[in-house]
Structure 1
Amino acid sequence: MGAVRDPEATRARIFDAAVAEFARHGIAGARIDRIAAEAKANKQLIYAYFGNKAELFTHVLEKKMLDLAAAVPVLPDAMDAWIDRLLDYHAAHPELLRLLFWEGLEYGTRELPDEAERQDHYARKVATLRDGQERGIISDAIPARDLLFLLVAMANWAAVVPQMKRILVGGEDTDADRLRASIKEAARRLVAT
């Protein structure tokens, strides 16, 4: 009796292998044959399920960003908790920031393949912050879109450049705790009314 085919399990294996491959090597350096080998799938299935390499990358990044949005919604009423959850999420899922960094290297300021969807994704987060500003629970001194960018940058930068974090902040657990407290204090000051 032959092996039972499970298309969803195969898609999941391909997706997981693609996440690892793109996080490790970026868009240009990733290889479909390595993804296929890791996923125990043939290359034709990858193309059939996800399209070409650039389309696969776009799909991978979109799904990882949706996972983050679902796991860590913006909380204007609880900014400390949001920053903590964002820091914890990226510590547990470092591949997302790596994927975004590779995307930045590949595309720079050029339009992304899923630009409209990405704008919608961020517009919802900005609207949440703007709502907090309109309700007077966070400062409107900085426009909501800039505020989101600044808060995310503060929370994410140490994970993007761990070597810089180690050199400037230190590499001990106490240093990481101190940095987290500093990020949260800076966030509190940015949003304070």
Structure 2
Amino acid sequence: MRNAEATRERILEAALAEFSAYGIAGARVDRIAKTAGCNKNLIYIYFESKEKLFTTTLQKHLMRVYEELVFTPEDLSGYAERVFDFTMSNPDLMRLMTWSSLEQRAESPAERYEVHGKKTQALQKAQSDGKVGASFSPGFLLTAIMTLATAWTATNPFGPSLHPEAADNPAELKDAIARAVRLIAQGDTLSGK
């Protein structure tokens, strides 16, 4: 059983590299099999289809994100800093997520919606408790935080192209993102409204 699980993990790691480079349409199961050191048919036995392999690969890595990046509505700037560090250190996953959005053939794992729902609920409670400004809806606030924290990943069309020199000093960039998130999270409390 250990050997089967090890083979399955090698397939998922090879799939991450292949799908992040080529997307679903451009990925080749034979290349994944060769990289994983297994028979191509074994991939279909484990995962049924290329699309299912893509979804399983995405889900595996998103679950890792959810476990490693604890959401803290009382410290949104700290959360943004952790997201920034993670995404800058995991460009393959960011490309995989981009391909998922572009091709929209692979279903997003249900856990993704569930996790985001829990985050927006936590933000709504933090707003009700006066810990986070209520100028923006929880969904908008979460989207703004994630957008800022991931703006300089290689797959983002704006950060790297419009302000490429910012990535030369990641500590300064991360600090600027954290400050922006603090300002957004405070909302109208800054203007006294």
State if a TM-score over 0.5 links the two structures: yes
Which runs of structure 2 are paired with 1:37-56 in the superposition (5 Å)? 37-56=34-53
* Alpha-carbon distance between aligned partners in 2 of 1:11 and 1:39, rounded to the nearest angstrom: 9
Indicate the SS of the match to 1:104: helix
Runs of at least 5 residues in structure 1 that lack an aligned partner in the other structure: none
Calculate the TM-score normalised by the size of structure 1: 0.87
Q: 1:162 to 1:179 in 2, by over 3 A?
A: farther
* Alpha-carbon distance between aligned partners in 1 of 2:138 and 2:100, rounded to the nearest angstrom: 24
Runs of at least 5 residues in structure 2 that lack an aligned partner in the other structure: none
Pair 1:122 & 2:110 matched: no
Aligned to 1:59: 56
How many matched pairs? 186
Q: Given that residues 169 and 179 in structure 1 are in contact (C-alpha distance below 8 angstroms), is that contact kept between their aligned partners in structure 2?
A: no
* Alpha-carbon distance between aligned partners in 2 of 1:85 and 1:115, rounded to the nearest angstrom: 22
| 2:120 counterpart letter in structure 1 | V
Return the match for 1:150 from 144, 152, 163.
144
* Alpha-carbon distance between aligned partners in 2 of 1:114 and 1:96, rounded to the nearest angstrom: 14
Aligned Cα RMSD in Å?
A: 2.2
Q: Given that residues 11 and 32 in structure 2 are in contact (C-alpha distance below 8 angstroms), is that contact kept between their aligned partners in structure 1?
A: yes
Q: Given that residues 167 and 173 in structure 2 are in contact (C-alpha distance below 8 angstroms), is that contact kept between their aligned partners in structure 1?
A: no
* Alpha-carbon distance between aligned partners in 1 of 2:112 and 2:128, rounded to the nearest angstrom: 24
Calculate the TM-score normalised by the size of structure 2: 0.87
Return the match for 1:100 from 90, 97, 100.
97
| 2:63 counterpart letter in structure 1 | L
Identity of aligned residues (%): 34
Post-superposition offset of 1:172: 6.0
Aligned to 1:23: 20
Return the match for 2:71 from 61, 74, 80.
74
